Amino acid sequence: MLMGMAIFGAPAARRRSPIPGRLNLTLAGAALLIGTYALVGAPLLIHRDAVWTWTLLVPVLATPGHWALIHEAVHGLLHRHSGLNECAGRLLGIVFGAPLQLLRCGHLLHHRFNRSEVDRPDLYEPGQRRPAVWLCYYWGLLQGLYVAELLGNLLVLLPDRPLRALLGRIARHKGGTEAPTLQRLLEHHLLAERRLRQMRHDAASIIVLYAAAAALYGDAWPWLLAVLAGRGLLVSFLDNAYHYATAAGVRVSGHDLRLARPLARLVLNANLHGTHHRHPGLPWTALPAAVEGHTGPYLRTVLRQLRGPLPVGKR
């Protein structure tokens, strides 16, 4: 993790901003209870009375906060004790449906390649086939990111050689001129022996947990699918919202969106994403004091994504 923070430029400000570890662990405990309820508690109640299906709205709506806690763990900011940070982060990832280290890889690569040709899903080059661009864009926006994270459980369980070959193909397909760097970083984050072993343990735990959930739901399985679809919609829809229509090539960029303080706290100030990119070492509680100015209202900016992908250079 120290290497990762060094690569992505954690500022000295982190040392002056205490991590709210006790609060974060309390919130993580609540997120784990809510997420576990959706998987193993709700089906037992739903079989008794269908009215309990309404309670599934809670874990779906809690998804942004759950991801925000994982995000803190990704950056080593969930707790100052690295062991507690990793343990809580891995448990949150298992209930979420993806190994912590896989999510960490994706997020740190996002910091590294933000608004480059590797990571600008809302932009397309002139000459690209527009129907294919729009199909890929809306699939990624509405479900695709979370589906890819779920499929990542199968990816990390591949034997070493096929896994390395697949990472190489991903790098060549997504990386463009950055392909060699992308492949090197993918291998660094995903193929190191300890990290790969942890991911495989977490992926196996996820498969067992979700298989058990499917068994518990039984003939009520559409409700489990509805929870995953709701989670997938929120995860995928909010992922690039903080970068939509920002300039290509500006890697330390992102929207800082106005959001009522109670709602901002529910998502751990994730609305201040531009400030997070400028100061990735700040815990969520320190972001409001570092904001340089808001770029727009939260809801309107997020919904702008429905306009569709944009040609490079148009904002």
For the record, the structure tokens of 108 come out as 């740190």
Q: What is the pLDDT of residue 4?
A: 44
Residue 134 lies in a domain: yes
Number of domains in the chain: 1
Residue 266 has pLDDT above 50, yes or no: yes
pLDDT confidence bin for 16, thresholds 50/70/90:
low
Q: What is the pLDDT of residue 250?
A: 87
Task: Please report the DSSP string for 144-184 in residue order.
Answer: IHHHHHHHHHHHHTS-HHHHHHHHHHHHHHHHGGGHHHHHH
End-to-end Cα, the chain, rounded Å: 35
Beta bridge partners of 124: 311
- Burial grade of 211 (CB within 10 A; 0-12, 13-18, 19 or more): exposed
Residue type, 105: C
75-117 confidence digits (pLDDT tens): 999 999 999 999 999 999 999 999 999 999 999 999 999 999 9
Average pLDDT over all residues of the chain: 93
Q: What is the pLDDT of residue 255?
A: 97
> What is the 3 state secondary structure string of 242-298?
CCCCCCCCCCCCCCEEECCHHHHHHCCCCCEHHHHHHCCCCCHHHHHHHCCCCCEEH
Residue 311 lies in a domain: no
For the record, the structure tokens of 40 come out as 């193993």
Residue 314 lies in a domain: no
Averaged pLDDT, 180-199: 96
207-244 confidence digits (pLDDT tens): 999 999 999 999 999 999 999 999 999 999 999 999 99
Residue 252 lies in a domain: yes
For the record, the structure tokens of 300 come out as 């309107």
pLDDT confidence bin for 15, thresholds 50/70/90:
very low
Q: What is the pLDDT of residue 13?
A: 43
Q: What is the pLDDT of residue 315?
A: 59
Residue 315 lies in a domain: no
Residue 2 has pLDDT above 90, yes or no: no
For the record, the structure tokens of 209 come out as 């947990």
The larger pLDDT score, comparing residue 6 to residue 61, is at: 61
Angle, nearest 10°, between helix axes 160-175 and 179-190? 150
Q: Domain span at residue 31?
A: 2-306
Contact between 298 and 259 under an 8 Å Cβ cutoff? The reply is: yes
Q: What is the pLDDT of residue 11?
A: 41
Q: What is the pLDDT of residue 8?
A: 43
Q: What is the pLDDT of residue 126?
A: 83
Residue 5 has pLDDT above 50, yes or no: no
Residue 312 lies in a domain: no
Residue 101 lies in a domain: yes
